[in-house]
């Protein structure tokens, strides 16, 4: 018995990536935006820091942003804690949270 292959059967499978963002993608995008805010804040305050500090911060920001996808994709329970601590560390230099905290506006 010969088996007939329907030429349209392959069209039923959609191999394109889903356009609906996953929770991991949303989280990754959120963290990336937060790190970019710190990077922009650092650039705005460039004259207040030594070139060494700027270089170290930019290197650290690039390294973290390069790994943020990987950290979120791993799905470990403590990824939020790790990224939160990293953001707090960067905030220690940029003071970004002070800019956006309405209780600190005079």
For residues 68 and 33, the answer to whether their CB atoms sit within 8 Å is no
- What is the mean pLDDT of the segment spanning 5-29? 58
Summarised one tens digit per residue, pLDDT across range 44-62 is: 988 988 999 889 988 988 8
Residues 96, 57: Cα–Cα separation, whole Å: 14
Q: Where are the domains of the chain?
A: 23-96
Q: How many CA atoms lie within 13 A of 46 on its CB side?
A: 7
Q: How many CA atoms lie within 13 A of 48 on its CB side?
A: 8
Tell me the pLDDT band of 65, cut-offs 50, 70 and 90.
confident
Instruction: Name which of 56, 54, 65 is nearest 87 in CA terms.
Output: 65
pTM of the complete model: 0.65
pLDDT of residue 3 exceeding 80, the answer is no
For residues 90 and 63, the answer to whether their CB atoms sit within 8 Å is no
pLDDT of residue 13 exceeding 70, the answer is no
Summarised one tens digit per residue, pLDDT across range 19-33 is: 555 666 788 888 889
């Amino acid at each position: 018995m010969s088996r007939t292959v329907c030429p349209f059967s392959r069209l039923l499978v959609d191999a394109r990536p889903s356009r609906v963002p996953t929770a991991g993608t949303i989280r990754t995008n959120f963290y990336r935006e937060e790190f970019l805010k710190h990077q922009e804040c650092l650039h705005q305050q460039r004259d207040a820091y030594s070139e060494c500090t700027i270089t170290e911060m930019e290197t650290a920001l690039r390294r973290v942003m390069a790994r943020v996808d990987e950290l979120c994709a791993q799905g470990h329970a403590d990824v939020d804690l790790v990224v939160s601590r990293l953001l707090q560390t960067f905030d220690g230099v940029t003071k970004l949270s002070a800019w956006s905290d309405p209780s600190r506006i005079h």
